[in-house]
Chains A and B, each alone.
Chain A
Amino acid sequence: MSDFLHILDILRPYVAGIALLSGGVIVLIGASGVLRLPDFYTRLHAAGVTDTLGTLLVLLGLILLSGFTLLSGKLALVGLFLLLTSPAATHAVANAAHKAGLKPRLGTVKSQAPGEASGDPS
């Protein structure tokens, strides 16, 4: 049993590293989505990827690195507060755009290849 726990303790930094790295990659994917998606509303969804899975994986990695201490509890609290507040912020931004009369692009939208993108400021 103690051998098993010992192996888990050796594996911990590696699992933490994998979580941190994949979290970082997902945050990058979310950022590229914010740049690539065509209009305001669809860009919000890409930001949502960064808000949820990206931050959760980074926090999971940090919690694994810190072990079972007060610090990991604080990191879990950070995650809880992020998950409670980020949808409120996203909703506030989306609601403001909707109230101001910004029309979303609906139907089927095909994105252009990077070179031929016309200057769409929205």
Chain B
Amino acid sequence: MGYALSLTVAMAVLWLMLSGHYDSTLLLSLGAGSAIFASALAWRLHILDGETSPYHKLWRFFMYWPWLLWEVIKANIIVIRTILQPDMVLTPRMVRVKTMPKTDMGRALFANSITLTPGTVSVDLDADEVIVHAVLKELTGKEGFADMAARCARASGEKDPVK
């Protein structure tokens, strides 16, 4: 019930933001109706859970995103500096990262964070490791990946994050 309610509220807010209609009763009721209808469809499909409606733990993600944004900016500067060298010297590596969050949400967040950071792309993913392609060997530090995995685990609500 909580999931259905938070999903409906989130979709209503999204509808208001994208349409910008606050004064027409007809349009507002149609918008509310469509938000409720979409939630009802999700409930009938039995896909209403913490993954389709993660709004109750959104504050954890808000704690994680500024850190990720700063990492993305630092990695961007490294990659841009590499691209702009007249004689590029690259040290591409394929590495297996073994430290992983335990939940599906945490793993997805971790793999996406790796890909979002320029210079590293997650190439393959299974239950206990990610295969990462990096353009420079400086970007494959074990501590960096372990730190990011622990933060992802915490952001997705794990009680006992990976060491």
Residues of A whose CB lies within 8 Å of any CB of B are 26, 29-30, 32-33, 36-39, 41-42, 44-46, 48-49, 51-53, 70, 73-74, 77, 83-84, 86-88, 90-91, 94-95, 97-99, 104-111, 113
CA distance A77 to B131 in the complex (A): 31
B92–A105 contact, CB under 8 A? Answer: yes
Interchain CA distance A106-B131 in the complex, whole Å: 14
Distance from B127 Cβ to chain A, minimum over Cβ atoms (Å): 16
27 contacts between A and B (CB under 8 A): A33-B79, A37-B83, A38-B90, A39-B92, A44-B121, A45-B120, A49-B79, A49-B80, A52-B116, A53-B80, A70-B17, A70-B20, A87-B111, A87-B115, A91-B111, A91-B112, A91-B125, A94-B122, A94-B133, A95-B123, A98-B131, A107-B91, A107-B92, A109-B88, A110-B88, A113-B86, A113-B87
- Which one of A26, A42, A90, A94 has the greatest number of beta carbons of chain B within 10 Å? A42
B90 near A111: Cβ-Cβ < 8 Å: yes
Category for how many chain B residues contact A: 35 or more
Binding site for A on B (CB under 8 A): 14, 17-18, 20, 72-73, 76, 79-80, 83-84, 86-94, 111-113, 115-125, 131, 133, 135
Number of A-B contacts (CB under 8 A): 125
Pick the residue among A29, A41, A83, A98 that contacts B124 (CB under 8 A).
A98
Contact B90 A41 (CB under 8 A): no
Taking CB atoms, residues of chain A closer than 8 Å to B119 are 45, 48
Residue of B nearest to A46 (CB): B83
Rounded to whole angstroms, the CA-CA distance of A77 and B18 in the bound complex is 9
Q: How far is the CB of A24 from chain B (nearest CB, A)?
A: 14
